[in-house]
Structure 1
């Protein structure tokens, strides 16, 4: 499994950004290897977001990025925000005891 973390700094309309990201989310959720994601908005700075996505593998993630339908999604987000995308592997995973 691979984790994709992308921080966004929105310089356009946050409403437009959230709509554009929702469309991107629909695109990714239909790609093979997508396990899920969470989009988080900063509690005190509403123009800052973090997307945390889980993928089966780096290869599946890269296949999704190479899909011919992805570039319009990337362009729509770039018009509204800057981003800092990175891939991570799990070192430690702990949940609260029940």
Structure 2
């Protein structure tokens, strides 16, 4: 696939979206995820994350994490102390990770 340099985020915020299918109890997955989130929250460039649980499929979760820029995200996931967190999540779930660059944001009209 050809590289399109104009679409590669070199600076500015990125959003990491990861869909998890859990093979353990919800409680165990959420405990391991919280430990991972606490580690990530201490990394430079981390802005926030939200863990969502599917309403009709309780074994499916979605993590949405926002980072200052691509370099900060890559630094966090390549940090040696992240590897045990990633391994713990892989033990109890499968995931589909993807990175996104913001394009448009809409908010509710005032008074709604």
Shorter-chain TM-score category?
Answer: over 0.9
**Matching of residue 49 in structure 1 with residue 49 in structure 2:** no
* Residue equivalent to 1:86: 98
- Measured after TM superposition, the shift of residue 41 of structure 1 is 0.1
Higher relative contact order (CA 8 A, sep 6+): 1
> Whose Rg is larger?
2
- Tell me what 2:17 maps to: 5
Quote the Cα distance in structure 1 between the aligned partners of 2:28 and 2:63: 16
Give the TM-score taking structure 2 as reference length: 0.85
- In the comparison of the two structures, how many residue pairs are matched? 98
- Structure 1 runs (4+) deviating above 3 angstroms are none
Gaps of 5+ in 2: 1-12
Normalised TM-score (structure 1)? 0.97
1:19-30 map, 5 Å: 19-30=31-42
- Where do 5+ consecutive residues of structure 1 fail to align? none
Instruction: For 1:53 and 1:95, locate their aligned partners in 2 and report how far apart those are by CA, in whole Å.
Output: 19
Deviation at 1:12, TM superposition (A): 1.6
